[in-house]
Amino acid sequence: MPLRLTPLEILLARLNILPLPLLDAPLAQGISKALVTACELGIFDTLDKQALPLKALAEKLECHPQGLQLLLNLLISAGYLRYRAGLYSNTRIARRWLTSGSAANVAPYVIHSPDIVAIWDHLPEVIRTNQQAMRMPYEEDVSSPEAYRLLARHYAGLAALAMALGGEVVYRVPLPPGASRLLDVGGSHAAYSVLFCRKYAELQATILDIQPGIEAGQRTAAQVQMQERLSFVCGDIVRDDFHKQFPESFDLALYFHIAHLLPAELNQQILHKVALSLKPGGVLAFVDQITDRTYGLRLSSLMVQLMHLTMTTVGGTCYQFSTVRSWLEQAGMEQVRSHRLLTPGAVLITARKKG
């Protein structure tokens, strides 16, 4: 994807004549590596300015023309580039999803993807033992340059993904009347807070996270020139009684993509503190992969199951809707609802504080 089979290839696949496993390995990995390389080189951003012949593109990218042509030809076959009248140009998919001028740019997440692939190197061990095999990047010592770069790629990728796909979540979350204070729990890159503040001019957001996450969020705030509406509080959401830190309660709290990182008892404890941070009638919005909310969609099911396996590798897991609902209800929340999203595998859950 966006690789498209010809009618003949589709027929051969349906007749089980085409060796489809070879599309997953090694073809998919080869296309993935080519795409990462293209993003790192800046091919799509360069062609976003204008279509170029091979020689001019190679000069701009400081690449050997023949070596670059091998990559360009692969990207054409994969559906990311076109070649017409001696000029290379982006396809509409590349323009929307892989150029920095697009609001839906996910190129930073593509560049981060090899770090995710590295997690899967531990799959045989995890499958044999069902035990955690490694730690998440923010659990590592970031004093080394390589660890710092890994964490920076991690946060930049997550921020890009949130900015590209988070608009639907913002649209679906019901804000209480007169809402003005948002708490983004573990919000690190602050992209979701940015999207909410863009939609609601009266909203001020507080992002609570550990120091590396705060630094990533501050970079986001500077990039979108929203420093005056985003504030940052350094803290440990697991260990700290953060609900006692704030002089005023919040109208809305976000708990996005945190649950899969933590065991059930810690999620329950954190969500209790989140609920205590809300005003009566305040809204808690929860986003994650929910194992029994794939709605019969193959892509959603694939994304959730792959996330479940990946999170087990790093000590996390994915949960059912009934589990999340019980956490929220025990924390004093009511009107717990799940909302189907277009983003494959992701589910929005909203709840309102009693009172």
pLDDT value, residue 328: 98
Q: Which domains, from first to last, does the chain contain?
A: 7-97 (1.10.10.10), 169-353 (3.40.50.150)
pLDDT value, residue 1: 61
CA–CA separation, 288 and 331 (whole Å): 18
pLDDT value, residue 272: 98
Amino acid 344 reads: P
CA–CA separation, 47 and 38 (whole Å): 11
pLDDT value, residue 139: 75
Q: H or E stretch including 284?
A: strand 278-289
Query: Which two three-digit tokens encode residue 93?
Result: 């998919």
Could you list the pLDDT tens digit for every one of the 355 residues in the chain?
667 788 999 999 999 999 999 988 899 999 999 999 999 999 999 999 999 999 999 999 999 999 999 999 999 999 999 999 999 999 999 999 999 999 999 999 999 999 999 999 999 999 999 999 998 777 777 778 888 888 889 999 999 999 999 999 999 999 999 999 999 999 999 999 999 999 999 999 999 999 999 999 999 999 999 999 999 999 999 999 999 999 899 999 999 999 999 999 999 999 999 999 999 999 999 999 999 999 889 999 999 999 999 999 999 999 999 999 999 999 999 999 999 999 888 999 999 999 8
pLDDT value, residue 114: 95
Residues 6 or more apart in contact with residue 44 via CB below 8 angstroms: 38, 80, 90, 94, 95, 98, 99, 107
DSSP SS3 for 278? strand
pLDDT value, residue 207: 98
**pTM of the predicted model as reported, rounded to 2 decimal places:** 0.93
DSSP SS3 for 311? helix
Question: Of 211, 197, 32, 12, whose CA–CA distance to 115 is shortest?
Answer: 32
Q: H or E stretch including 87?
A: strand 87-90
Which of left, alpha, beta for 248 (phi over 0: left; psi -120 to 50: alpha)?
beta
* Beta partners for residue 183, in sequence order: 206, 253
